[in-house]
């Protein structure tokens, strides 16, 4: 029965003639576990106990394939969709990835919805792989991703990306999108575009136990109305300002055998919010026997709000976990994490999804409403199977 279902899925994806020429693979992840979130920072939320999907890795099903076009040229594609294994609600949200690529000895060019180079770097260095409640990235951690306007962004729409060949351990990833968080809008003559234009570059070096990577990207949106609340304008005054964020990250790891150490440091500067964020993480992975790993990390975020009489918004997070492989494809995991903030960052960061907006009036509102699911501690216990 299972073989029949797989055969029907492949048949629906490609015609018989195309399938005969291509190598198509079905893959995915099923991840289910116990998820406890507690200690609401603002006191507005009760503790939550739930059986959830996608705690260590997002549950998903995907299709990928390649075709040899001759003369060293290959075409490939990825179509990947999230699933909600706990409720059986089917496909969840937009495609996780959906792109088409051409590759040869000079590298790969891909077009479509893809992961950001920043996420590739951060998730590689993070001991938790940007998964479980130990995730360092904003959304379950304190390390802002993307930009101030969209700090949970780990994928970009309409992205044209280039991945260079590997030169003795060194490679470069570069990308550009005319609107990374939606479809490109038609704009009237004489009117500023509201498309989020993003370009990025990510050089990496890997040699045996050593990995070092650098990410730099810019996000620009012309003529965005910004709710200013700083020294440069009257509080809560809406002004027309071109939005620009500049972000860079430096990450590295070294595997000593008995322990793998990792570090991450980054800065995010936003002209629209007139803020500057500094963030970093230190982590370690310690093998235990042939099948286990102890994971630990500590991270901090400090945002200069540039508001008279208001201190920097500060948050920190520590996480401790253990993973145990039952096979090459199946593992168990248990992770605990806790976030601490000062008054200025209260209600912004959460182990279950944040509401990062570095404007003092928004921070004050978060304290009253509990916006952003501001849980400050979490526990995950679950099982993941990859196929």
For residue 371, the domain's CATH number is: 2.40.160.10
Residue-range definition of the domain harbouring residue 254: 2-386
Instruction: Please say if the pLDDT value at position 196 is more than 70.
Output: yes
Number of domains composing the chain: 1
pLDDT band at 348 (very low <50, low <70, confident <90, very high): confident
* Contact call for residues 135 and 126 (beta carbons, < 8 A): yes
Q: Which residue has the higher pLDDT, 56 or 236?
A: 56
- For residue 232, count CB atoms less than 10 angstroms from its CB and return exposed for 0-12, middle for 13-18, buried for 19 or more: exposed
Q: Please give the helix or strand (H or E) that residue 13 lies within, else none.
A: helix 2-13
Q: Region 126-136: what's the mean pLDDT?
A: 97
Q: Which residues of 96-119 are buried (b: 16+ CB within 10 A; e: fewer)?
A: bbbbebebeeebbebebbbbbbbb
* Contact call for residues 241 and 285 (beta carbons, < 8 A): no
- For residue 13, count CB atoms less than 10 angstroms from its CB and return exposed for 0-12, middle for 13-18, buried for 19 or more: middle
Max avg pLDDT among 24-38, 43-57, 272-286, 298-312: 24-38
- For residue 162, count CB atoms less than 10 angstroms from its CB and return exposed for 0-12, middle for 13-18, buried for 19 or more: middle
Q: How far is CA 322 from the centre of its chain?
A: 21
| pLDDT 10s digits, 170-183 | 999 999 999 988 88
* Contact call for residues 376 and 340 (beta carbons, < 8 A): yes
* Contact call for residues 339 and 300 (beta carbons, < 8 A): no
- Structure confidence at residue 8 (pLDDT): 37
d(CA 150, CA 268): 12
DSSP letter, residue 166: P
d(CA 120, CA 326): 26
Dihedral pair phi/psi, residue 341, rounded to 5°: -135, 160
* Nearest residue to 110 via CA among 184, 59, 179, 174: 174
d(CA 1, CA 25): 18
* Contact call for residues 308 and 283 (beta carbons, < 8 A): no
Mode of pairing for the β-strands spanning 155-163 and 107-115:
antiparallel
- Structure confidence at residue 191 (pLDDT): 75
Question: Virtual CA dihedral for 14, 17, 18, 19, nearest 10 degrees?
Answer: 70
Q: Which residue has the higher pLDDT, 193 or 373?
A: 193
* Contact call for residues 298 and 283 (beta carbons, < 8 A): yes
Tokens 């976990």 sit on residue:
321
| pLDDT 10s digits, 218-254 | 999 886 555 444 444 444 444 556 788 999 999 999 9
| pLDDT 10s digits, 313-347 | 899 999 999 999 999 999 999 999 999 998 888 87
* 3-state SS, residue 120: helix
CA-based angle 156:161:163, to the nearest 5?
Answer: 130
């Amino acid at each position: 029965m299972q073989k029949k279902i797989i055969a029907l899925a492949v048949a629906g994806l490609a015609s018989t003639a195309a399938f005969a020429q291509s190598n198509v693979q079905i893959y995915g992840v099923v991840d289910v576990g116990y998820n406890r979130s507690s200690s609401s920072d603002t006191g507005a939320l009760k503790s939550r106990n739930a059986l959830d999907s996608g705690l260590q890795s997002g549950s998903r099903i995907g299709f990928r394939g390649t075709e040899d076009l001759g003369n060293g040229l290959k075409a490939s594609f990825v179509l990947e969709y999230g699933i909600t294994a706990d409720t059986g609600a089917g496909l969840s949200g937009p495609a996780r990835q959906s792109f088409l690529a051409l590759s040869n000895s000079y590298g790969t060019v891909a077009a479509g919805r893809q992961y950001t180079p920043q996420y590739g770097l951060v998730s590689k260095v993070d001991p938790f792989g940007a998964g479980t409640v130990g995730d360092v990235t904003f959304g379950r951690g304190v390390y802002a991703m993307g930009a101030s306007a969209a700090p949970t962004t780990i994928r970009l729409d309409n992205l044209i990306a280039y991945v260079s060949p590997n030169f003795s351990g060194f490679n470069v990833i570069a990308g550009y999108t005319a609107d990374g968080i939606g479809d490109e809008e038609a704009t009237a003559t004489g009117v500023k575009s509201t498309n989020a234009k993003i370009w990025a570059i990510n050089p990496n070096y890997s040699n045996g136990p050593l990995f070092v990577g650098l990410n730099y990207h810019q996000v620009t949106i012309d003529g965005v109305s910004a709710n200013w609340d700083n020294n440069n304008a009257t509080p809560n005054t809406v002004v027309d300002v071109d939005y620009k964020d500049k972000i860079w990250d430096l990450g590295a790891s070294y595997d000593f055998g008995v322990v793998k150490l990792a570090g991450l440091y980054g800065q995010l500067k936003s002209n629209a919010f007139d803020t500057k964020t500094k963030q970093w993480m230190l982590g370690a992975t310690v093998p235990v026997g042939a099948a286990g790993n102890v994971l630990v990390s500590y991270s901090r975020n400090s945002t200069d709000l540039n508001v008279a009489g208001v201190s920097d918004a500060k948050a920190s997070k520590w996480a401790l976990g253990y993973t145990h492989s039952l096979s090459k494809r199946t593992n168990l995991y248990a992770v605990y994490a806790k976030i601490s903030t000062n008054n200025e960052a209260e209600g912004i960061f959460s182990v279950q999804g944040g509401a990062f907006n570095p404007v003092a009036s928004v921070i004050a509102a978060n304290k009253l409403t509990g916006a952003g699911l501001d849980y400050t501690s979490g526990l995950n216990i679950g099982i993941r199977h990859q196929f």
